[in-house]
Chain A
């Protein structure tokens, strides 16, 4: 038991933080928001120059090795900048599913391009999916970064398939989305051809684990950044002849944010370690991390607006980027109440 970062993990954190702080600027993110919600140059740089995109994917599968803790570190750093990147769809969901559940041919065909950022993937969770052989029919209205994707990971009806976005029978329609850094698209499949994952269970399990860790870590990074930026403002802004950060009502609200954030930090790295170490707490930890961190992110982003006053309500200020991303975190991969009910079922002994 040693629940602190190793030196290597600390180095990865510093590298990732420096990279995103310098490059995932508000200006660039806003440019991406006007397009398909991806800062493509940043994604290329992240995948190719920084070389961190293969983290969490075994070396045997063409990745950089390391594990979910390191993946969380990166997602936390990206979340702190609300970076407009397809990290969730391309890396956490699709690359993980292929690495864990794909055949060797599938891994070779897709992973290098995904990790190099040359191919972008999105996840289509189609509740109404009907598979006739490998012909897929169904739809999903909330496919994150769907319009930018060349590859779709389609799951439903107990299976997982890889589908090319330009295949006949696939329609992708952009949706105007509240969080413009990860816009949704409606994807409709009408008898589209899919290539089944060799081991769909292993694939979807790995994707779910990595996806939940990434969302939780993003929420943590976002919440911490919301706090840091608000603290900076609180020292600067003067009203009634005092820095507003000297008013106790204001201070205490910031303190409460920190209390939540420290718990969120424990949650993210507990979940990442529990999965990595094959702990029997892993399932509970993932549900806990997802809902706790999403709630923390939302609360901190909301407080960020309130504690900035009028400027916090403007389009010009970044607070709304935090707030909208935090809202999306609450519903992605299951609403928070649903995760909590899962936990209740576990502790009440209703599940095996």
Chain B
């Protein structure tokens, strides 16, 4: 058991930091420090391509697909330096963290060739079409229909809460391809181009005023027959494989963004005197402890190669960070006081900390709500009886 990095890895860290800082000080200075997912989307697509050109987009992927074959430690280092340098989040995070790894694991050679280099080059931005109005936590209830017709899949139905669909090129969708099937059976996982007459995207405004997610309507939308990952009817397994990649190395980068948020709270507390309130001090310490434990939990989960046994650190990670960040938002507002409830912007737009307070209410919902996480932990981690299902 060892925490420290080797001198060679520390050198790699310096190399990453130098390159990232140079970009953020130069050509991409205008996007440095952006914390929302939607701001300056076009410039951030250019940033995706810039990362790809310089081989920094998907460093953990094999070289042949545009990666660097980077070791786990190197991926950890890059993710940390990325956020430390104030580089904004990846607008193609769904492509590089979910679609790409799923293709690497389950895609055909032909599909890998077609998608992976373009994802790594920032030319194909993906979004995720899982949730529907009647299938949220209960993903297996999806109703969006897919049928084969003249060598093409024809898709009808509706997805909802589709993050960044309005700036994406492709969507992967879980569809019901077997008429009359129920639950996880009879589903097929399709990849579709968004720019076509059969697909309509309508933005949904969120509690912070932003519109990061959308409703996505499919009305006779089409894609070629070989657009599926896995087999016909095998979509549930593919979807579950994809979700397992949510706990990848990018979590370390996400944590550095959390670090920046906590640092902003600490600075605010020092500036307005809240730092001398004993209760605020206790909460700052708890936040600090939680963040550090998140890092070491993630390192445990990433270091663990024994996939045979239940990995407690991995199973509990989502609810841990989501709950932590929700408390962080509350702490931010308690440090700011009423000053946090007004904004200098003319429109309904919020600075980092009040926005954190509002946005973090989503963290405990998407990617499996806290209640669903507890069900999973109890059932998979502790072996307790499964939730009963209704027939409706």
Chain B positions within 8 Å of A6 at CB level: 1
CA–CA, A270 and B270, complex, Å:
28
| Residue in A231, A274, A344 whose beta carbon sits within 8 Å of that of B384 in the complex | A231
| Residue in B4, B292, B305, B316 whose beta carbon sits within 8 Å of that of A277 in the complex | B4
Residues A265 and B312 in contact, CB atoms below 8 Å apart:
yes
Chain A positions within 8 Å of B292 at CB level: 270, 281, 284-285, 288
CA–CA, A246 and B163, complex, Å:
35
Question: Interface residues, chain A, CB within 8 Å of chain B?
Answer: 1-6, 9, 69, 227, 231, 234-235, 242-243, 245-246, 248, 251-252, 254-256, 258-259, 261-263, 265-267, 269-270, 273-274, 277, 279, 281, 284-285, 288, 291-292, 337, 340-341, 343-344, 347-349
Residues A273 and B2 in contact, CB atoms below 8 Å apart:
yes
Residues B288 and A347 in contact, CB atoms below 8 Å apart:
yes
23 A-B contacts (beta carbon < 8 Å): A1-B2, A1-B3, A1-B5, A1-B303, A2-B1, A3-B296, A231-B382, A231-B384, A255-B382, A258-B377, A258-B381, A259-B316, A259-B319, A259-B320, A265-B312, A269-B300, A291-B289, A340-B282, A340-B289, A341-B285, A344-B281, A344-B284, A348-B266
Query: What residue of chain B has the Cβ atom nearest to residue A349's Cβ?
Result: B270
Residues B377 and A259 in contact, CB atoms below 8 Å apart:
yes
| Shortest distance between the CB of B48 and any CB in chain A (Å) | 28
CA–CA, A232 and B358, complex, Å:
40
Residues B285 and A269 in contact, CB atoms below 8 Å apart:
no
Known: A4-B304, A262-B320, A348-B270. A343 touches B2 (CB 8 A): no
| Residue in A254, A344, A349 whose beta carbon sits within 8 Å of that of B378 in the complex | A254
Residues A248 and B73 in contact, CB atoms below 8 Å apart:
no
CA–CA, A95 and B387, complex, Å:
51
CA–CA, A245 and B5, complex, Å:
43
CA–CA, A6 and B378, complex, Å:
28
Chain A positions within 8 Å of B382 at CB level: 227, 231, 251, 254-255, 258
Residues A2 and B384 in contact, CB atoms below 8 Å apart:
no
- In the complex, besides A251-B382, A263-B316, A341-B281, 14 extra interface pairs with C-beta distance below 8 angstroms are A235-B383, A246-B384, A246-B388, A251-B379, A256-B374, A258-B316, A263-B290, A266-B313, A267-B293, A273-B1, A277-B3, A277-B4, A341-B285, A344-B288
Residues B313 and A265 in contact, CB atoms below 8 Å apart:
yes
Residues B293 and A343 in contact, CB atoms below 8 Å apart:
no
CA–CA, A1 and B72, complex, Å:
9
Question: Interface residues, chain B, CB within 8 Å of chain A?
Answer: 1-5, 9, 73, 76, 266, 269-270, 275, 278, 281-282, 284-286, 288-290, 292-293, 296-297, 299-300, 302-306, 312-313, 315-316, 319-320, 371, 373-375, 377-379, 381-385, 387-388
**B289, B304, B306: residue with the most chain A Cβ atoms closer than 10 Å:** B289
Residues A69 and B1 in contact, CB atoms below 8 Å apart:
yes
CA–CA, A347 and B286, complex, Å:
11
CA–CA, A292 and B9, complex, Å:
31
Residues B9 and A1 in contact, CB atoms below 8 Å apart:
yes
Chain B positions within 8 Å of A347 at CB level: 266, 284-285, 288
Chain A positions within 8 Å of B1 at CB level: 2-6, 9, 69, 269, 273
Residues B282 and A269 in contact, CB atoms below 8 Å apart:
no
Query: What residue of chain B has the Cβ atom nearest to residue A261's Cβ?
Result: B312
CA–CA, A266 and B377, complex, Å:
18
